[in-house]
Structure 1
């Protein structure tokens, strides 16, 4: 733990005693997530629980955003609750064919675009608009989907999801060859069973894995994944920072510590210690790691030391953003978390997304200091 940062629940050297209850600590948590919870939680997270197509505000200078809404509304209308058997729906789920054959065209839609253009908002809106019971449509991140396979086994996962009308996959990324083969096979089985697919990503389906592993060696699997989707490009700038001031400057260790003690349900951790702890918790459990946390307070933020650590931090940032958990921090600002080399590498879009989301959460956290 950093010598310049107070331990969770302690008082900074030379400062006055801190009133309030001792804060929680993420580093003290090692959650276990049973398989039935993984399935039950495949719904839009709290931030996107109330979004709908009508609450999405397209940028008038970006016609692709309005076009995406139009196509997705039609997609949802086509998923009219017909039995989920192969070949019962046509292209993108519109219309139905009498022949029980699996159609040759794509069985899903793929939302491609930069971070902050509202792809997750649209994906969650599609889930809400699809006329099926919640138990017959699933929503999860790519990491959560692969972990479901690990928890249930491949065949059980296929059986569990095959009765669904729709599977929505957020943050679709392929970080290694094993994921490529696994997901290609899984989605192929689900398409055969008549499950419609929808996904978001910052990378075109034909470019998945590029810059991260020898994608050419798995070209057939990647092309197979691409064939399941019709791509909708969504252009635009990051709405989280559209017309807003610059990200707030980090606070002092003392300010962060005092705010943590004064905020019910806040956690307080030293940033390097938290990075070490994340290595001991599977990324699929990062959501459970934040259960009941009202705010995350971090002291001693500094650049992440390596790519593996950086990718774990990206997942945590996504889960905190999904759950609308503000992040109050001391040390370096969040736009200095990742090295220049990282921001130019194969995972650059993930890192920029994390910076964007953590900055938004840092703005949300300003009230913890202002209102205490």
Structure 2
């Protein structure tokens, strides 16, 4: 990068080798330092503190017999012997913004195993790994792990659900402990969350291995915080992009068009080295396919704590009412929530 000239995301075409996909299956930078004792429960929601207690016990239960294979596998999952420490999988059930990812990452950190024997990734990253390595090699690779944490388990695509459920069945047989959060099924409106009963039904034969933990509460990203900052002018955004080291500068429509040319598994690599994202001409997302790609990018930016400075339309007006009332509503609200948090982080770039 030439000094003083911002990067352009829409000009990048990253390549991500399969071994990097495996090596990067750890909690993202935003959650690298989280632990159970850094989670701040909402005292009005007893289920949050109860979840911390239950997950701490679950993590502790992964020691001892977990280190012995295949004997430990037979103790945990054998049909003829009851698991002495209860279910060997846990599902975090709750709305967006209640801290499920924080708790899932805390579980990964607390599990008594070497980092290379624990894996953490989103459902999309897991399906991408299967695509890169093939099913059998993915099974062999992940079977060496003691714990697999899956964030944002997606049940929108029946084919992917069957694929991952089959994969998890193989991993259970190999003695891998499982933990997951999930997204909303199409048509599941209600609270904007995916119910535990539906999750357990979709993973069929694996349901007996999961202990559901309900986590109630409001979106912590906006708990007691001021309203999201209004968009800035194009002039302010461009000036900030040239002034900030490692900043990128893109017209929003051009970036959306470019995302269609880059596989979502590469969106993390797309932001490598980027310390701030500056966007001009932010406007309504034109269609659902584009909207879902933007959701993935928002997740990767949030994971990496990359502030987003923008001009144009406020982030809470990116998605149409039809989208916000449809089957993917939870994804869109999560994207709005995360982009709003990143917009707050970017205020300093504009001198505020």
User: Normalising to structure 1: TM-score of the pair?
Assistant: 0.86
> For structure 1, which segment, 261-270 or 97-106, has the greater mean C-alpha deviation from structure 2 after superposition?
97-106
**1 CA distance for matches of 2:68 and 2:161?**
25
Partner of 2:72: 88
In 2, the alpha carbon distance for the partners of 1:337 and 1:286 equals 19
Cα distance in 1 between the residues matched to 2:36 and 2:181:
16
Counterpart mapping for 1:360-371 below 5 A = 360-370=341-351
Question: Structure 1 CA distance, aligned partners of 2:113 and 2:349?
Answer: 40
Are the counterparts in 1 of residues 155 and 183 from structure 2 also a CA contact under 8 Å?
Answer: no
Alignment match, 2:14: 31
Aligned to 2:230: 249
Gapped runs of 5+ residues in structure 1?
1-8, 10-19, 91-95, 213-218
Distance 2:313 2:343 in 1: 12
Instruction: Give the direction of change, closer, same or farther, for the CA distance of 1:198–1:231 in structure 2 (3 Å limit).
Output: same
Name the SS for the 1:88 alignment partner. helix
* 1:88 Cα offset (Å): 2.6
Paired residue for 1:340, among 315, 318, 321? 321
Q: What SS does the corresponding residue of 2:302 show, helix, strand or coil? A: helix
1:77 lines up with 2:74 in the alignment: no
Q: Which residue of 1 aligns with 2:5?
A: 22
In structure 2, distance between residues paired with 1:231 and 1:220: 12
Give the CA RMSD over aligned residues. 2.4
Distance 1:31 1:98 in 2: 41
Matches within 5 A, 1:1-372: 21-80=4-63, 82-83=66-67, 85=69, 88=72, 106-203=87-184, 208=185, 222-370=203-351
Q: Distance in 2 between matches of 1:98 and 1:147?
A: 27
TM-score in terms of structure 2 length: 0.91
- The alpha-carbon distance between structure 1 residues 112 and 97, as it changes in their structure 2 partners (threshold 3 A), is closer
1:315-350 Cα deviation digits (max 9, x unpaired): 000000000000000000000000001111110001
Displacement of 1:231: 1.1
Deviation at 1:98, TM superposition (A): 11
CA distance in 1, matches of 2:342, 2:129: 28
Cα distance in 1 between the residues matched to 2:71 and 2:338: 40
Q: Specify the structure having the higher radius of gyration (Cα).
A: 1
Within 1, Cα distance between the matches of 2:11 and 2:268?
Answer: 15
Compare 77-86 and 318-327 and name the one that shifted more. Answer: 77-86
The equivalent of 2:197 in structure 1 is none
> What's the CA shift for 1:106?
4.4
Worse-matched range after superposition: 161-170 or 99-108:
99-108
Deviates more, 1:125-134 or 1:229-238: 229-238
**Structure 2: distance between partners of 1:146 and 1:84:** 28
Cα 1:327/1:102, change in 2 over 3 Å? farther
- State the 1:228 CA deviation: 3.9
Asked if the contact 1:86–1:100 (Cα under 8 Å) also holds between the matched residues in 2, the reply is no
Deviation string for 1:82-126 (max 9, x for gaps)? 336467369xxxxx5696858687431010111111101000000
Aligned partner of residue 248 in structure 1, secondary structure: coil
Tell me, in whole angstroms, the C-alpha distance in 2 between the residues paired with 1:330 and 1:366: 12
SS at match of 1:287: helix
Structure 1 residues 103, 318: CA separation in 2 closer, same or farther (over 3 Å shift)? farther
8 Å CA contact 2:76, 2:82 repeated in 1: no
User: Do 1:253 and 1:299's aligned partners in 2 also have CA atoms closer than 8 Å?
Assistant: yes
Structure 1 residues 188 and 257, CA, compared in 2 at 3 Å: closer, same or farther? same
Check 1:188–1:209 CA distance in 2 against 1; reply closer, same or farther (3 A cut): farther
